[in-house]
Amino acid sequence: MEALCSRSFSPPECSELSASLPEPDADERAHSQRLVAALQAEIAAQGPIPFSRYMERCLYAPGLGYYSAGRSKFGASGDFVTAPELGTLFAECVVQALLPTLRELGGGAEIVELGGGSGAFAEAALKRLDTLGTLPKRYGILEPSADLQQRQQQRLVANLTPALLARVHWLQRPPEDDWQGVLFANEVIDALPATRFTKRGGEVFEEHVALADGTLQRRDLPADALVGAAVRHLERDLGTEFADGYRSELLPQLPYWMQAVAGSLSRGLLLFVDYGYPRHEYYLPERTDGTLIAHYRHRAHGDAMHLPGLQDLSTSVDFTALAEAGNQAGFAVAAYVPQAAFLIAAGLEPAFQRTHEAAADEAERYALAQQVKRLTLPGQMGERFQAMLLVRDLPPQALDAAVLGVDQSRRL
């Protein structure tokens, strides 16, 4: 059976070159060509565009971008697998980690999920919260993709009771009024449009996408002041300059994004789960071409120009930068933990036992064991993925003591 790739640096069996990628059908190829034509028109009118703009259009262009079009993204029928798609254990552990905060904040607490995927997490989390008697006042899903929002609505309508469904609402923008509760984001930061940079002759250049003989090609141009300053900040923090030819990525917009999505959370917790590294591991000298990766039908490869609009593009997360952005927005880092340690601390073993006992047959029990392996093994999601908790105005007892006990924020 073909292995399913999580959206991260994938195991060897998921590392096929783009030459071996499956061919799209005629409709899919025509869809990609429409996006390419739109990109070509933009570049012809305005000149080369930053790679971050190219990535934004490939993922989010209305009706054309990867997350804006209708093909399945997640699970066996899509291009990659996320933790909530594997089963309910991930969501149940996250709920357990959030319980002290929700109980501290009481009946007025809200949950906001960024990028709800297929709706699998919301479904499992709400059912578990209901069982525990700790439902939030409201469960908001901030989903920029109309297509994904529709899929989420269909799933939740089909699988939640009317009482649970009544607590769910979809947000068109981040909350503007002050609120208290939890903001949760699984595999969101990696999909923010990334700026690609390189060094040449000691100067900073930014990667762009240009037109050459009617085709899209990458081109390096002198970086503007914002990108240049962001790269110099990295070098100061790392205590060394990047070598000539070194290429990587960063998110200079991250502090502004953080303020936009979480600035109105007056009291509560932010939980980010994603794949990435602390800064000193992210920008290793040997990682000379960054972490940019594409996923297409469970194949991971490095060609960002392959079939625009039909494949996912993402980069690993600099968790030191995420912590800095949280600090600037008024939040303190409470914990930074590899996913395996986070899930185990948050009750993975009792959740597994409870679900194992309720399994209908041996096939379900086998699938459950495979789910645990995918979530926790170092070569799968266990070490590649990290969890970061950021807090504002919460006492220590409002945080899960077991999760705090495995904190590794000293690595940031």
**Which residue intervals of 248-392 are DSSP H helices?**
254-262, 279-282, 319-328, 339-345, 348-358, 362-376
Look-up of token digits 């880092």: 333
- Partner residues linked to 294 by β-bridges: 301, 313
Distance CA 130, CA 153 (A): 19
pLDDT of residue 144: 86
Counting residues of the chain whose pLDDT is more than 70, the rounded percentage is: 93
pLDDT of residue 15: 42
H/E segment holding residue 97:
helix 89-105
Look-up of token digits 């601390």: 345
Convert 371-408 into a string of H (helix), E (strand) and C (coil).
HHHHHHCCCCCCCCEEEEEEEECCCHHHCCHHHHCCCC
3-state secondary structure of 111: strand
pLDDT of residue 300: 86
Q: Are 406 and 342 in contact (CB under 8 A)?
A: yes
3-state secondary structure of 140: strand
Written as tens digits, the pLDDT of the chain (412 aa) is: 334 565 554 433 344 444 577 888 899 899 999 999 999 999 999 999 999 999 999 999 999 999 887 555 554 554 557 899 999 999 999 999 999 999 999 999 999 999 999 999 999 999 999 999 999 999 999 998 888 899 999 999 999 999 999 999 999 999 999 999 999 999 999 999 999 999 999 999 999 999 998 899 999 999 999 999 999 999 999 999 999 999 999 999 999 999 999 999 999 999 999 999 999 999 999 999 999 999 987 788 999 999 999 999 999 999 999 999 999 999 999 999 999 999 999 999 999 999 999 998 999 999 999 999 999 999 899 999 999 999 999 999 999 999 999 999 999 9
3-state secondary structure of 74: strand
pLDDT of residue 2: 39
What are phi and psi for residue 66, nearest 5 degrees?
-55, -45
Q: Are 51 and 196 in contact (CB under 8 A)?
A: yes
Tokens of 381: 């999601």
Q: What is the arrangement of strands in the sheet containing 293-296, beginning at the earlier edge strand?
A: 299-301, 293-296, 312-314
